[in-house]
Amino acid sequence: MSLVPSTELSQPKVLHLHIINNSIYINNIQIISRHSVARLDIMHVLLAQFWQDFKSGLPAEKYKFLNINQLGESLGFNSEIHNLEYKIRRPLNRMIKAIKEILSKELSTDCNDVIENIGWPGYSCKEHGYRLNPFILSLSAANANYRLKVKKSTNVNNL
């Protein structure tokens, strides 16, 4: 089964994301350990949205960004009770930085924006949030038994 969307992208995919034993790899380099629960939970939500957009046949520029509240809701956090800055944004920003550092070191190239963020102060776009970069990433699962694990409260159709 090919994981290439039906729409042609404007640039080739340069990074291959795959999942082995619930650890996340890019180009055979582990970027998230199965023991990094908070990072895995966030990545699973981003992967679920990426997969939904892929299955819908969306062009890469239309893949959806998830804001901090949508991520929190998908992870079962209530923004009125939980500090989403502490629970999501901080681990997410650390994960983005770690991914960039790991890939820059291991691939000897600048790998910005594996996880894109858009719409922060000073940016004119109405949308804001995070997404896996559909312009540079392709996906695969190491075994057929892998199921995208997102908490039960997550409905990828409503993300």
CATH topology of domain 37-133: Arc Repressor Mutant, subunit A (1.10.10)
Distances (CA, A) of 19 to 78, 130, 133: 29, 20, 17
pTM for this entry: 0.75
Residue boundaries of the structural domains of the chain: 37-133
Helix (H) or strand (E) holding 26, with range, is strand 23-26
pLDDT of residue 10: 46
pLDDT of residue 152: 34
Q: Region 21-34: what's the mean pLDDT? A: 93
* 122-155 confidence digits (pLDDT tens): 555 556 799 999 999 987 655 544 444 433 333 3
Q: Is the dihedral of CA 144, 4, 48, 105 positive or negative?
A: positive
